[in-house]
Each structure stands twice: as C-alpha cells, then as structure tokens.
Structure 1
Amino acid sequence: MSQAEKATRLASLHQKGSPLVLYNIWDAGGAKAVEDAGAPAVATGSWSMAAAHGYYDGEAIPLDFVLRIVGRISASVDVPVTVDFEGGYATGPDEVAENVRKVIRAGAVGINFEDRVVKGEGLHAISAQTARIRAIKSVAADEGILLVLNARTDLFLGTDPASHADHLAQALEREAAYAEAGADCFFVPGLTDARLIFEVTERASLPVNVMMTGELASIKDVALLGVSRASYGPGPFFEFLANLKAACTSIK
C-alpha cells in the first residue's frame, strides 16, 4: 500500500462494536512483532517510547529522535502506523501542524493528539484545541494524506473515578467540537466505567477509543459497549520489562 492507501485503510479499521485493537509498541522490533502476530495496524505509545530510550513521558524525548524512531518503524512494517504525538511538541496551531507534517513525512498515517497542556496545567480551551486540530488536518491535506487524528481528552486520565460522571458533559462537548474541527476518533483514556463508556459511544459522532486498563480487561466486553478502537498504552512495555527481569533473575 502507498502511504495514502495506508491512511485510508487505518480509518476503515474503526468499526463500532468491532474495535481496532492496538497493542502499543515503542520501536521497530516491536512493530514487526505485532505485525507478524497479525495486527492490521501498529501504534506507538509515548510513555513506552520515551522510557525505552531513557526519557520521561511528556515530550521529554527530543522531537528529532521521535521522528527517527517513527521512520524506522514505518520502514519496517507494511501496515499503517499511528503515532502517539502527545501535544504536538508546540502550542501554536501553525507550529503543531508543521511538526505533524514531519511525522507524516516519517511515514505515519495517524496520530494521537491530546488536549492536556503538556508541561503545564489543565487542558487547552476548546477553542484553542480545535484551532490546533484544524491546522493539523490542513497540513495533512497538503501532504495528500487522510491523516487519522485520534483526539484525546485528558478529562479522565489520572482523576478520581468517582468524578468521571461529572466530567461526561464536558467530554461530549469536546468530542462534538473536535469532530467539527476534523478529528477522526475520540480517545477517553482513564474512563473505565462501562455505563459511562456506553453513554459516550451512543452520543458521540466519532468512533470512540478506550485504553485497556483497570476494569477494561476484555476486548469482547468493550466491543459490546460500542467501542471502535481499543489500545493498551504503556501496558505492553510494563509487561515486557517484567518478563525481562524475570528471565534475567532466573539465570542459574
């Protein structure tokens, strides 16, 4: 497939009730392994990629280094590649969009793009985040790529689950605004309550992505909630480290 064909293919894999499963990786070797296991697409995880190379999450790993890794991943597999691009390594719409252009030119056909203020506090205002999304989609169009932009909201991640119902209205407001700005998917990491996930999938116009953590242990179960995409975040990296340590300590 050409890069443009890969982008179209990635978009088509988002099916409500039959989710695209992304077992997040952090390097070319991992990408090739999940492709060989039958994965229809490859997704990086920002936490995993940073930690695997000695950095903290939160855009601490240099952008040029990220682009080299993405380039190696994209060159190593034949399936679509989507990149966890955090907050875009910039604040202004034009700067973010130019950084995304570099990600596209490295071979990716999708990104996660979060509304958290990286290295700051709180979330970007809806108006600011939608301006950033529009700029990204404009650059993707210039590049001839139907970039699959997975708009992530951080309303739920790292917050008290007891408060999640109170955040639902704002989450849906953000989903509607992000959809209007051109986003292709809506990511709600940290939201694990089945009732609330179902409400989001029923009311959202975009395909909904959840992170498989906590109470979310079964793809079959989240499929029944109407989820279109299920990703594992840093979980695979944690499992990899645990297995590596166990193998090392078992050496006689």
Structure 2
Amino acid sequence: MPDLAGQARTLLDLHTAPDVLVLTNVWDVVSARVVAATPGVRALATASHAIAATFGYEDGEHIPLDLHLDMVGRITAAVDLPVSMDMEAGYGDPGDTTRRAIEKGVVGGNLEDAARPLDDAVTAVEAVLAAGRAAGIDFVLNARTDVLLRAEPGADRAAVVREAVQRGRAYLDAGAPVVFVPGAVNREEIAALVDGLGRGRLSVIAVPGRSPSVRELQELGVARVSTGPFPQRVALTALQDTAAELAAGGVLPPGTRTLS
C-alpha cells in the first residue's frame, strides 16, 4: 500500500516549489506509464475528458463514476508518482467522490465550480478537504473556477477576471492550495490573476497555439500547468496521420519507439 500521506505532501510541495509544476494529463495505464517514465516528470494528473472519450462517453460526468474511478485506480496502481484526479464537478457529492478517489490511491484533484453560487462552491471545496482530513491526508485540491470558460462573447473580460479572483480567493481561504482558471491564455489576464491570487497560487491549462510557453508561465508566477485532453488529442492526431499515410501506400513513421 503506498504512503498516501507522503505522496500528498510531495504533491503539495511540488505546487509550492520555485519551479512551475507541469502535468501532462494521462487517461489509461499505458499513457500513465509512458509519462511517468519521462525524465523530469514528478507527478501525474488524469484527464476526465480523455478517460470519458476512451470509453465512448462525452465529457461532463456522462461516464459512470464507478467506471471513471476504476480507470483512475488502475493508473495509480501502475505508477509510483503522486496522482491527481480530475473529479469534474464532484458527481453530485464532492466529499464522497473524494473519499472514493483516495481509496483508489489519489492524493489530489480538480473540482469544477461550474460557476454555481459562490457559497455552494465554497461548501463543495470544504467537503473535499474534509474528506482528505478524514482519510489522514492533506488532499491537494486544484479548485477550479469556470467563469472565464462560461463568459459570454463580448463580455467585459476585466470584470470576468475580477470575478475569477474573487472566487479563487474564497477557495484559498477555505484551504485550497491552488486555483485553476481554465480559459486563461492571455498573458495580461494571467498576470492579473496572479496579481489577484498571489504568486504560486494560479493553475492554468496549456492550449495549443494560444498559451504562453511553460517558461513564460513560470516567469508570470503560475504554480501549475496542466494539459487536459490535449495529450490524448496529440496521440490521436499521430494515429490518424499514420493511418492516412498507410492508406496512401506509405510506411509507418520511422523512429517509432517501443513504449508499450
């Protein structure tokens, strides 16, 4: 049985270290093993969208929780690194979902606020952290606010960023160590979020062709950079390109490595 309390401390330390924590999200055992074996990788995070897609479900808690947790448990059993789970919005009971995730070997997780009323969102954050304490670990919650993602086209972006900061501060006050703001890809907005939340408190997702580099994000004061469904899409892009090359009479990509 892994030392979950020790893994949780390690994961928290990685969020507060001077170097930004980079998480290439995984979705099954083989992707987890490949990423975990990569030099420089210090922790793993699962991607709910990618796990759901693996089983043919749409994102957004459409995959049954039992099936989702089963895959996450297979991932934690296959690697020695701390694992953070994308718990989506908590499947109706964030505290119980966290308890079950910890039983599967998880020591951290994302929780979406879905832009619900702030008091309700704070209650959910508190439930997650309480479940960690009940299990004897400091669960590393990446408290997510969706207000940037849900902003209407043409909305006052500065006002939306201020709302994200307000929500994020409430989650930090409730005990979350970091705040995840998907949709933050603009340098000025990221800088404003860091200014509002504090350096080493902001978590963002890297978006192909839009986000600053990891090095730039570290310079801006970001604590954590994750990749969501994009690693799976990178893999599927390579797969489709390979299939197209073969269908056109070509060959498998030279330099293909034996990673499974």
Fold shared, TM-score > 0.5 on shorter chain? yes
Alpha-carbon distance between aligned partners in 2 of 1:114 and 1:2, rounded to the nearest angstrom: 27
Unaligned runs of 5+ in 1: 117-122
* 1:42 counterpart residue number: 44
Alpha-carbon distance between aligned partners in 2 of 1:66 and 1:170, rounded to the nearest angstrom: 31
- Note the alpha carbon deviations across 1:164-217, whole angstroms, 9 max, x for none: 222121111101111111212100111111112112112214611111114214
* 1:249 counterpart residue number: 244
* 2:20 counterpart residue number: 19
Query: Which residue, out of 135, 138, 153, partners 1:146?
Result: 138
Instruction: Give the alignment's Cα RMSD to 1 decimal.
Output: 1.6
Give the greater-gyration-radius structure (CA): 2
Query: Which residue, out of 108, 111, 114, partners 1:110?
Result: 108
2:87/2:97 contact within 8 Å kept: no
Alpha-carbon distance between aligned partners in 2 of 1:86 and 1:6, rounded to the nearest angstrom: 22
One-letter identity of the residue aligned with 2:222: V
Q: How many residues align?
A: 242
Matched, 1:199 2:192: yes
Query: Which residue, out of 231, 238, 250, partners 2:233?
Result: 238
Q: CA deviation at 1:125?
A: 0.6
Alpha-carbon distance between aligned partners in 2 of 1:191 and 1:217, rounded to the nearest angstrom: 10
Alpha-carbon distance between aligned partners in 2 of 1:156 and 1:12, rounded to the nearest angstrom: 28
Structure with the bigger RCO (C-alpha within 8 Å, sep 6+) is: 1
**Inter-CA distance 61–41: structure 2 relative to 1 (3 Å threshold):** same
Q: CA deviation at 1:18?
A: 2.1
One-letter identity of the residue aligned with 2:148: F
- Note the alpha carbon deviations across 1:21-75, whole angstroms, 9 max, x for none: 0111111111111110031001111111111111000000100001110110000
**Mean CA deviation greater in 231-240 or 72-81:** 231-240
Secondary structure in 2 matching 1:250: helix
Q: CA deviation at 1:83?
A: 0.5
Unaligned runs of 5+ in 2: 250-260
Alpha-carbon distance between aligned partners in 1 of 2:125 and 2:162, rounded to the nearest angstrom: 21
One-letter identity of the residue aligned with 2:159: D
Query: Which residue, out of 213, 216, 222, partners 1:218?
Result: 213
Alpha-carbon distance between aligned partners in 1 of 2:143 and 2:80, rounded to the nearest angstrom: 25
Alpha-carbon distance between aligned partners in 1 of 2:154 and 2:27, rounded to the nearest angstrom: 28
**Inter-CA distance 114–161: structure 2 relative to 1 (3 Å threshold):** farther
Q: CA deviation at 1:163?
A: 3.5
Show structure 1 runs of 4+ deviating over 6 A: none
Alpha-carbon distance between aligned partners in 1 of 2:174 and 2:38, rounded to the nearest angstrom: 35
2:185/2:212 contact within 8 Å kept: no
Secondary structure in 1 matching 2:15: coil
* 2:158 counterpart residue number: 165
% identical aligned pairs: 36
Secondary structure in 1 matching 2:69: helix
One-letter identity of the residue aligned with 1:247: T
1:17/1:227 contact within 8 Å kept: no
Alpha-carbon distance between aligned partners in 1 of 2:197 and 2:56, rounded to the nearest angstrom: 38
Alpha-carbon distance between aligned partners in 2 of 1:16 and 1:211, rounded to the nearest angstrom: 18
Secondary structure in 2 matching 1:112: strand
* 1:85 counterpart residue number: 87
* 2:67 counterpart residue number: 65
